[in-house]
Amino acid sequence: MELAQLVVFARPPTAGTVKTRLAGLFGERGAAELYEAFVEDTLRLCLRIRAAGRLDVALWSAGPDDERVSEWAGRLGATAHLQPPGDLGVKLAAAFDEGLRHYQRVLIIGSDAPTLPIELIGAAFDSLENAPIVLGPANDGGYYAVGASHSVRPSFEGVRWSTAHAFGDTVRANAQRVVATIAPWYDIDEPEDLAVLRAHLSLDPAAAPATARRLRELARAQR
């Protein structure tokens, strides 16, 4: 059995279907372009992690036949898996069921945190050495990462997704297990999240270069 797998959840960057809460600022097309930049920076992170050690990367998408998604998977050297119908818990469960058949540790991240530091990914995998489940809490009450080890798939029973209760609900759903927690980070869903992102990138544009570039382009287009 291989040591570890990092799974990325992504969506085709189709206008009107991704980052819809940002469309009021950038338009549907601009919001989709910004999301595509988020994914580019997430893939960059994955490739850095894979180059650093014995770890495979997988991509689970809502649209595996999308040309852009296929390109992303090709860059990762992976196949684009289709997320099943259902809420996020159903989709996470399917990815864990598949991953834990082949890997000792599986960590799933989204594509909404383009500045996510590589150190937090390392901390999550390290936590799975001693705990069956790990969560990386996000600024909005959800989480940017969830991991499992030793064939223990997390329970997502009763989790109120896309609310401030998602992290707490997941901890309660797994109350009979040890759930490790790593440092929090921020993801980008709401217009107010952009202030944090812009402040971060003003100090360190290399934290998410594709996102920094796209934000500059969108700002120029709005003048």
d(CA 153, CA 142): 18
pLDDT per position as a tens digit, 123-172: 999 999 999 999 999 999 999 999 999 889 999 999 999 999 999 999 99
Amino acid at 118: I
User: Thinking of the domain 2-221, which architecture would CATH place it in?
Assistant: Alpha-Beta Complex (3.90)
Domain regions of the chain by residue span? 2-221
Q: How many CA atoms lie within 13 A of 61 on its CB side?
A: 23
Q: pLDDT tens for residues 16-36?
A: 999 999 999 999 999 999 999
Residue type, 40: E
- SS3 for 60-82 is EECCCCCHHHHHHHHHHCCCEEE
- pTM for this one? 0.96
